[in-house]
Chains A and B, each alone.
Chain A
Amino acid sequence: MSFGSPWFTLPEFTYHKPKTLKEALELLDKYGEEAKVMAGGVGLLAFMKERLMAPSHVIDLKGVPELGQAIYKEGEGLTIGATVTLNELARYGPLKKFGALHDAVRDIADPIIRNRATLVGNLCEAIPWVDTPPALIALGAEVEIRSLKGERRVPVKDFIKGPVEIDLEPGELVTAVHVPEPRRNSRSRFIKYNTGSEFALVSVAANVVMDGGRVRDVSLVYGAVSSTPQVAVKAADALKSAEKPWEVLDEVGRIASEEVEAVSDVLASEEYRRHLIRVLTLRVLREVMG
């Protein structure tokens, strides 16, 4: 996928700004596939400028108050509404409990973009190299979806189906993302490698539950390596089964670099990506296990 539009102007569309969730859902129901929702507009407007999307109706969610809140409840976790911006979230104290998400949110693009862009928007763009999905998957987050017909919850891992493809039917709206309370003795981090690039060439989120000197559970999720975030199962197993996990970190990185799907694109070759997976695995495990 290449970005860069010859156009200065957007395709024509009708703009709606509902004031309640009900009104938003009714508009979505009415216009179905012809409608797109907008929060910060960072992704949508860029897609429209590229003519990759040309919705006849744009439904701006910023007028719906209940979508603009991030709420943390001890023991339950963190719920982030659809119009909560990355900077609002970054400033929300309890986010620190969710290390990987905290890392990812604070380092996306630049402060100006983070003032507009939302977490839910970042997730729903489902561009392969966006930062928050690997962190959300490593933390076991779920997407809350509403429509006039009802509501459902989908794990983020299943919500992203392909590049720019999500599990969302016409008429449905992602109202929030829910991140469960971190497990005891767990620690999570997200790091990315983006030297000489705006986007990550490779990113990784790790969520580890330590038990004495051993790793009881671990989730390793890689972003920007392929069309969807990649979960490294074999690498995680190797780490869990090691009696001395500190001795096998490079081995874990090697396994991960071989088992996940990785592609060549304009940012990096597959070969280099696999090498970076190995290196970033070392780095992220050093962070979460240290």
Chain B
Amino acid sequence: MAGKFVGKPIPPQDAFLKATGTAPYNYDIELPGMLYAKLVTSTVPHGRIKRINVEEALKVPGVVKVVTGKDIPYMVGMYAGDRDLLAIEKVRWVGHPVAAVIAESLEAAERAAELVDVEYEELPAVFDPLEAMKPGAPLIHEHMEKYRRLPVFKPVPGTNIANKFRVVRGDVETALKEADIVIEEEFHIKHVSHAFMETQNVIAHWHLDGTIEIWTSWQNPNPVRQIMAESFGIPYNKIIVKIPFVGGGFGGKAGLGWEALVAVLSREAGHRPVKLVLSRKEQFTSGACREGFHAFVKAGFKKDGRFIAYDVKYVLDAGGYADYTVNVGRAVAYSADGSYEIPNIRCEAYTVYTNKVPTTALRGFGYSESHWVLEQVIERAAKKLGMDSAEVRRINLIKPGVSITATGERLREDVGNPRKVLESILQEIGWGKPSEKPKEPWKIRAKGVALLVKGPAQPPKAPSSAAIKFNEDGTINLLVSTGNFGQGTVTALAQIVAEEFGVPLESVRVDWIRDTHSAPYSWQTVGSRGLFTDGIAVLNAVKDAKRQIFKVASEALRCPEEYLELVNGEVRVKGKPWMKIPLKDIVMGYSYPDGTSIGGPIIGRGVYMSVHTTNLDPETGQGHPTIFHTYGGTGVEIELDLLTGEIKVLKAVQAFDIGRVINPLLLKQQFHGGFIMGMSIALFEEIKFDERGWVLNPNFTSYYVARIKDVPPVVEKFVETPQADGPYGARGVGELTMIGVAPAIANAIFNAIGVKLNNLPMTPEEVWKAIKAQRPDLIEKAVKEYQKKMKEVKAVA
């Protein structure tokens, strides 16, 4: 059932300002007396800083100060706690910030930054995480045991392993012996950029009284405050973090940012506000990207298609610091089993330092990587078993209420319906029916499918809260701190409030600035959790506000609360709709005709707290990691040009069991946006390094992101199995829409020509190389077909 607002295709509330180009992003903000900072970054991948000469830089007119790591020797971080603000003693990658120039103008800061001269003593560097794991490899963090990390993370001091995580269920060794077939493969994924339109940028003002004011382009203000308060030992209430419009996040604005650095720069510059904006190149080389990834798998199946054993080792190339990536190393392991019940599983994940750019979360982190591997394993097994891969998927799919996951969690009955997801994709893509033959015989068409599941990767305690504040005219300010960087969550939250109070949507406003001072706490805006967690907090706040409203109305209308109802913004006596009070006459207190008043301004408050989530056992990874599992999948039909290796997606189907659709318009946009991002990463995106760890393509001309011409039609399939503890039964979906795209494409190619594509991205060159190595005959045949066709054309002409 659709409500008046819930379930309706309502445009995002911020669309008008964005479309007119007037939305204020952090980049647009300037404070009076503001100074500009510019980073000086390392030119060697690994080295000791011998000397930093700032004399010439200080001579540039307008320069206020040049700060180096020694001046501000703080270590910061959210998870691993392994990051310095500016390099202290040594640099760990090319691009590692070494010094910061602060000046009256950006021009002066840049001129001076060019003149800072740094001398290094180079140290042996290591760029391959597999090499970096070996004994005797150059150590990148010698004292990681001293870092202030979250206790769930387990670094291995004396090595480059920033975190080791294991998930063990059943007996994988025995099961592999009992398997009728074993698939053994390795898979690799290159580094990718978040490619958000607005690069990271921060304004910080360390006021004279010790209050720190931060303006930043980040996903949620609370983690920013947490990192700064914990790192500096400053009370939380002295730090005010404000976030205006954000030009994209994709996980790259979730963990550790530049706020702590810029705050200290403000203090060092005499307590004036300081702004730092990363250029696109700096974003590539000094900001953080998605890690490089390697997987080594053995998978055992029985003849009847049962998946009985999965033995996986993951190695994550975390770069010079691994703050958030240690958590990626956990997510990739506890999501190893995807949508299937695999009774015997052993999964080890190593997050490893290298002398490359640092890494962090990226939309769907861990899950994108685990599914790239798992969904191809299923496809390969099906072929080896001589079975339809859809049938192998059906046989192994989890059963709600019955199945146990890799971490030993029994899935709730209303967890979702992956079977319905699978069938809807198969039907839409025409599974089993051959594709239409392309006119050009050197091309082939094929279909591929991948399933997936994801929940938010979060600690067991990750609460949210919300407040509903009424204004004199009965309009509502909804206060939340969940971020709004393109997903549209706050529009959905406003819909919920308007629905519950029966007021017009325009009566509910969520401010465009998120701040830690006036908005209630929300742990983080990550993991596709915003609508689920903050949606429940909002519903609880609604309940709380209604309770207060009914109490006042009950007195004013001389009627017990149970006989009252809230309809169209009025409290009415049930059955006697003429006995009513409009909300505006209650929410600031109700006044009797003689002026005496009761009640007072209404503020509803509500919280969300995760239910049943636990820590995971440090040895076996057993426990209950997530608050929901959203099942979904992607189907594609592709065309492969055998002459060039070029893959073109002709059609895509996205199906997800989102529990309940709150806003179909925004949901469709997520389905499309996620597909495009997933396809772009599948086919094009790769940060390239030279043998000294320099990024070769730190720009959008040689780091290619999909353009609109690359995008096929996308069909959306909503499956709705409501979850009892979700808002209206809804589950999160934002990140998930990109996860299945890459394995679906690879599966299509494998289905059609048996060529294995184990490495991302599947650029034309990579695909051509794979075909040339595995099926060279296809390329030569394609050339012959091309020539033949040309002669035919000529003959007709």
- State the Cβ distance, A280 to closest chain B Cβ, in Å: 9
Asked whether, in the complex, the Cβ of B106 is within 8 Å of the Cβ of A195, the reply is no
Of B695, B704, B786, B794, the residue contacting A196 (CB under 8 A) is B704
- Using an 8 Å CB-CB cutoff, how does the interface string of B278-303 with A read, 1 for contact, 0 for none? 01111011000000000000000000
Contacting pair B702 A290 (CB below 8 A)? no
Complex interface: chain B residues within 8 A of A268 (CB): 765
Does A14 sit at the interface, judged by CB under 8 A? no
Contact indicator B701/A196 (Cβ below 8 Å): no
Q: Which residues of A contact B182 (CB under 8 A)?
A: none
Give per-residue flags for A223-267: 1 if the beta carbon is below 8 A from chain B beta carbons, else 0: 000000000000000000000001001100000000000000011
Q: Please report the C-alpha to C-alpha distance between residue A282 and residue B783 in the assembled complex, in whole angstroms.
A: 9
Check B281 against A5 for contact (C-beta < 8 Å).
yes
Contact with A along B686-721 (1 / 0, CB 8 A): 001000001111111110100000000000000000
Question: Are the C-beta atoms of A4 and B769 separated by less than 8 Å?
Answer: no
Whether A290 and B282, one on each chain, are in contact in the complex, defined by CB atoms closer than 8 angstroms, is no
In the complex the two chains form, is B702's CB within 8 Å of A266's CB? yes
Set of chain A residues within 8 Å of B794, measured between Cβ atoms: 246, 289-290
Q: Give complex CA distance A51, B797 in Å.
A: 54
B residues 277-335 in Cβ contact with A at 8 Å: 277, 279-282, 284-285
Would you call A250 and B765 a contact (CB within 8 A)? no
Q: Which of B739-768 contact A (CB under 8 A)?
A: 763-765, 768
Say which residue of A2, A5, A249 sits within 8 Å of B787 (CB atoms).
A249
Contact B702 A8 (CB under 8 A): no
Q: Is the CB of B783 within 8 A of A250?
A: yes
B186: CB under 8 A from chain A?
Answer: no
Interface string of A264-287 (1 = CB under 8 A from B): 001111001001101100100010
How far is it, in angstroms, between the C-alpha of A282 and the C-alpha of B786 when the chains are bound?
Answer: 8
Residue ID in chain A nearest B763 by CB atoms: A196
Contact between B764 and A9 (Cβ–Cβ < 8 Å)? no
Chain B positions within 8 Å of A51 at CB level: 114
Minimum CB–CB distance for B479 against chain A, Å: 36
Q: Which residues of B contact A197 (CB under 8 A)?
A: 702, 704
Q: Are B701 and A193 in contact (CB under 8 A)?
A: no
Is the CB of A212 closer than 8 A to any CB of chain B? no
List chain A residues, Cβ under 8 A from B279.
5-8
By beta carbon, the residue of chain A nearest B764 is: A195
B220 at the interface (CB under 8 A from A): no
| CA distance in complex: A282, B702 (Å) | 26
Contact in complex: B764, A196 (CB < 8 Å): yes
Which residues in A have their C-beta under 8 angstroms from that of B697? 2, 4, 266
Is the Cβ of B107 less than 8 Å from the Cβ of A250?
no
Partner of B765, one of A7, A272, A278: A272
Q: Does A31 contact B (CB under 8 A)?
A: no
A246 to B795 Cα, complex, angstroms? 10
- Which chain B residues border A196 with CB–CB below 8 Å? 683-684, 704, 763-764
**Known pairs A196-B684, A196-B764, A198-B704; A2 contacts B106 (CB<8 A):** no
Determine the chain A residues whose CB is within 8 A of the CB of B111 once the complex forms: 9
CA distance A23 to B696 in the complex (A): 41
Contact count band on A: 20 to 34
Q: Are A266 and B688 in contact (CB under 8 A)?
A: yes
Encode B619-644 as 1/0 by CB contact (under 8 A) with A: 00000000000000000000000011
Count of chain A to chain B residue pairs whose CB atoms are closer than 8 Å in the complex: 90
- The smallest C-beta distance from A202 to any residue of chain B, in angstroms, reads 10
The chain A residue with its CB closest to the CB of B684 is A196
CB distance from B37 to the nearest CB of A (A): 12
Indicate whether A199 reaches chain B with its CB closer than 8 angstroms: yes
The answer to whether B768 and A199 touch across the interface, beta carbons within 8 angstroms, is no
CB of B787 within 8 A of CB of A199, answer no
B696 / chain A contacts, CB cutoff of 8 Å: 2, 266
Answer yes or no: B790 CB below 8 A from chain A CBs.
yes
Q: Does B50 contact A (CB under 8 A)?
A: no
- A87 vs B39: C-alpha distance in the bound complex, in angstroms? 39
In the assembled complex, which residues on chain A have CB atoms less than 8 Å from the CB atom of B786?
282
**B177 located at the interface, meaning its Cβ lies under 8 Å from any Cβ of chain A in the complex:** no
Interface residues in A1-56 by Cβ distance below 8 A to B read: 2-9, 51
State the CA gap A37–B646 with chains docked (Å).
40
* Complex CA–CA separation, A250 to B643 (angstroms): 12
| B789 CB, nearest partner CB in chain A, Å | 9
A290 & B793 in contact (Cβ 8 Å cutoff): yes
- Per the bound structure, the CA–CA distance linking A199 and B696 in Å amounts to 15
A193-B106 in contact given A4-B280, A199-B702, A272-B768 (Cβ < 8 Å): no
Task: List B contacts of A8 (CB < 8 A).
Answer: 106, 110, 277, 279
Q: Please tell me if B528 contacts chain A, counting CB pairs below 8 Å.
A: no
Docked Cα-Cα span, A17 to B223, in Å, equals 52
Q: Within 8 Å of chain A (Cβ to Cβ): is B41?
A: yes
Residue of A whose beta carbon sits closest to that of B40: A6
- Asked if A272 and B282 sit within 8 Å, CB to CB, the answer is no
A282 engages B107 (CB within 8 Å): no
Q: Say how far A56's CB is from chain B's closest CB, in angstroms.
A: 15
**What are the residues of chain A within 8 A of B769 when measuring CB–CB?**
272
Answer yes or no: B134 CB below 8 A from chain A CBs: no
- Closest A-chain residue to B699, C-beta based? A4
Residues of B within 8 A of A275 (CB): 768
Q: Is the CB of B765 within 8 A of A193?
A: no
Name the residue in A6, A51, A272 with the highest tally of chain B Cβ atoms < 10 Å from its Cβ: A6
Instruction: Give the CA-CA distance A5 to B283 in the complex, in Å.
Output: 11
Give bound CA distance, A73 to B291, whole Å.
58
In the complex, are the beta carbons of B110 and A9 less than 8 A apart?
yes
Judging by beta carbons under 8 Å apart, are B702 and A6 in contact?
no
Residues of A182-215 whose CB lies within 8 A of B: 193, 195-199, 201
Cβ of A4 and Cβ of B110 under 8 Å apart?
no
Judge whether A2 and B683 touch: CB under 8 Å: no
- A2/B702 contact (C-beta < 8 A), A9-B110, A246-B790, A279-B643 known: yes
Task: Supply 4 further A-B pairs (C-beta < 8 A) apart from A246-B790, A275-B768, A279-B643.
Answer: A4-B699, A197-B702, A201-B765, A286-B793
Interchain Cβ contacts under 8 Å between A and B, 16 examples = A4-B284, A4-B285, A5-B281, A6-B39, A8-B277, A196-B684, A196-B704, A198-B701, A198-B702, A246-B791, A250-B787, A269-B765, A272-B764, A278-B783, A289-B794, A290-B790
Task: Give the 4 A-B residue pairs with the shortest CB-CB distance, closest first.
Answer: A4-B698, A4-B281, A4-B699, A196-B684
